[in-house]
Structure 1
Amino acid sequence: MGRVIGPVAQRVWQRRLASTKEPLLATKANPNRLLVTLSCVWPLSWFKLRLDGNSKHRSPWPDDSTMSCFLSLERGKFWFPAQVYNREHGHVGFMLSCYDAELCYDCNTDTFHARYPPHGRRTIVIEEGVQWDRVRTPPVDTLAHELHVSDCLHDLQPGDHVEIQWRRNKEFPYGWWYGNVGHLESCNGNEHYCRCKTSDTLVLEFNQYAHGSRWRRAVINRKDHREEGNETDGFYGGMRKLHDKDEISKWKQLWPPGILE
């Protein structure tokens, strides 16, 4: 299981500690359940060192803060920021996307409750039963309503794997959507003659959608890209190139069973 508690969640916990008057550690705890929780949400190597009493390895938090955090996690008292793949139980409108949410652990089901921020006319949406494999730590510090500053545009070429911000309209938060860099319509895809990498026009392909679907392709300006789009097709924001094989593999595992329209 991957790490779900990232730096942003740690900062949220520290702010909570600074503002609360409650004792850090409760007097009653379930050691067995706590050990399971620790081993799931924190790197196993760190956890083993803590159990072995290795004094050379220090936690990024004080001991009482660390234990208090995990107790609060286990008891469902700490909502922490993370991101959820395929939100709202894999709703077709969110396939191959990842959205910011606040999560709370449910020890009875070993899953999470996800609380998505309101957008447009929709109130807060709460999804229950979110499995561990649908949760990730935000890979960048960009907030859901902020435009991510892209630093990879000039390096992108056909075949690259990317995530790009997209939102339905400017009242909505961004989600991160998986796609690939494609070829220009004027290019036949022959690598010996392809000049797509040097063009100021960048083509993105979302191959989970059928050919002819308006969601299948998007064209953005590589040279001076900011938020681009309209109220019909939505707005495309910043982009990040995926280098990590595990990240790319994760998206492929989430691929829908059928082509989307």
Structure 2
Amino acid sequence: MSTEGRMLLLGPRFWGDFSSFFVSWFNKGRLLVSLFQVPMKMPLKKVSLGSRVQEIVEEEEEPSLLDLPELALECILERLSPAGLCSMAGVCSSLRDKCRSDHLWERHLKQKWGRVIGESAHKEWQWHIASSKRLSLLDQRNQKGFIGSLNSTWPFCWFKPKSESRRKPTTCLPVDSIMALYLSLESGKFSFPAQVYNRENGHVGFMLSCYDAQLSYDSKTDTFQARYSPFARQTIEQSILWERLRAPPVDTPANVLHTTDCLNDLKPGDHIEIQWRRSKEFPYGWWYAVVGHQELCDGNENRCRCRHNDTIVLEFSQYTPGSRWRQTIINRKDHREVGNEADGFYGGIRKLYKAEEISKWKQLWPNQIVD
């Protein structure tokens, strides 16, 4: 074979097309039959020799996916869906180990869950891992722990490969693997902290706000259930769509005042989120607002001195002019939680720099001004 031909054969384009071919066959269910289920007994061929008939074993070697070069096999596995990886993992121990590799599942986790899984969710997952390991040490014979419950949703993942002896125990999925995290999220067994826009199905009292909640996923409806603070009027909300969720943008618990570091930079027209809570007993939610002009400023850019004023005007334009919720004023020099039991309490501020964050709030804008 010429040098050019060998380069073409070993190039990434070849392996990409080659792996796509195998994946298409796998998705049709043919590979399991044609490649993996090697017959235990070879076919027999009868040969007549005079008066006797002898049975001669005709040896036939079936091709195996594991005979492929490592690069080709890796390309195939990278193109499989999560369900495909789980099915492939049930073929044999070698493929099982490869199919649950973190680098394969990390892409699936980021692609589906990256927008709603933040640092707080990963921390809670680590806590679950540590808790599960402690329970395992207390009673290693009891396999009904947190990760063991995944069997009810993805049972085919844990089946012992047919090619292995029935006397060998089934290998459990490592609790600290990314595959375990993905399947726990997918099955709804792991509820994670995130934030919900316009809570309580867009109730008028929560328009253009975002509140912390514990979310669990329902794969049948592709929606979420949210559990809010027990102080809320409605603590559980069902059928929440993906577009109403986000990962917490800052690592500040809902009952803690956020440390504001952008006060000196704020000027009219800036987009911000500010903490607000109904009373001292309630957790904070994040509310969208825009920095406005001072009362005596005409808004002319050449004459505006609002950014040098000690006070900052925040406009909540979803409320009608004259509403007590339309505006609030904070102190640039000495900002802390301000408010009262009648109007609620305003807390920390974060300035929005990313266009996608601002665009998201505009998409949630109510159809009509709120009184």
What is the TM-score normalised by the length of structure 1?
A: 0.84
Alignment-mate amino acid for residue 361 of structure 2: W
Greater share of residues in strand:
1
Q: Conserved in 1, the CA contact under 8 Å of 2:129 and 2:176?
A: no
> What is the CA-CA distance between 1:222 and the residue it aligns to?
0.8
The SS at the match of 2:334 is coil
For residue 38 of structure 1, what is the aligned residue in structure 2? none
| 1:48-82 Cα shifts (integer Å, max 9, x gaps) | xxxxxxxxxxxxxx895211112111211111000
CA contact (8 A) 1:5 1:82 kept: yes
User: Which residue number corresponds to residue 172 of structure 1?
Assistant: 282
Q: Distance in 1 between matches of 2:328 and 2:155?
A: 51
Say which is worse superposed, 62-71 or 163-172, in terms of deviation.
Answer: 62-71
* Higher-Rg member (1/2): 2
Question: CA shift at 1:235, angstroms?
Answer: 0.5
Q: Judging changes above 3 Å, is the alpha-carbon distance between structure 1 residues 88 and 176 closer, same or farther for their aligned structure 2 residues?
A: same
Amino acid paired to 1:138: P
Structure 1 residues 64 and 142, CA gap change in structure 2 (3 angstroms): closer
Instruction: Report the counterpart of residue 195 of structure 2 in structure 1.
Output: 83
Name the amino acid aligned to 1:97.
S
Among candidates 339, 345, 350, match of residue 229 of structure 1: 339
Aligned to 2:154: 29
Indicate yes or no: 2:134 matched with 1:9: no
Q: Does 1:151 align with 2:276?
A: no
**Structure 1 residue 30 displacement after superposition:** 7.3
Tell whether the 8 Å contact from 2:119 to 2:251 is kept in structure 1 after alignment.
no
1:195 counterpart residue number: 305
Report the aligned-residue RMSD. Answer: 1.9
The normalised TM-score by structure 2 is 0.59
Q: What amino acid maps onto 1:180 in structure 2?
A: V
Deviation at 1:117, TM superposition (A): 1.0
Residue number among 224, 246, 249 corresponding to 1:112 in the alignment = 224
The Cα offsets for residues 196-221 of structure 1, whole Å up to 9 and x where unpaired, read as 00000100000010011110000111
Q: How many angstroms apart in 2 are the aligned matches of 1:101 and 1:186? A: 41
Aligned to 1:67: 179
- Unaligned 5+ segments in structure 2 are 1-111, 137-144, 157-173
CA deviation after TM superposition for structure 1 residue 190, in Å: 1.0
Does residue 1:207 correspond to 2:332, yes or no?
no
Q: SS state of the match for residue 177, structure 2?
A: helix
Greater helix share, structure number: 2
User: Which of 122, 128, 139 lines up with 2:238 in the alignment?
Assistant: 128
Query: Which amino acid is 2:177 matched to?
Result: S
| Count of aligned residue pairs for this structure pair | 230
Unpaired runs of 5+ residues, structure 1, are 32-61
The corresponding residue for 1:100 is 212
Identity percentage over the alignment? 64
CA distance in 1, matches of 2:238, 2:346: 29
Q: Which runs of 4+ in 1 moved over 6 A?
A: none
CA contact (8 A) 1:24 1:65 kept: no
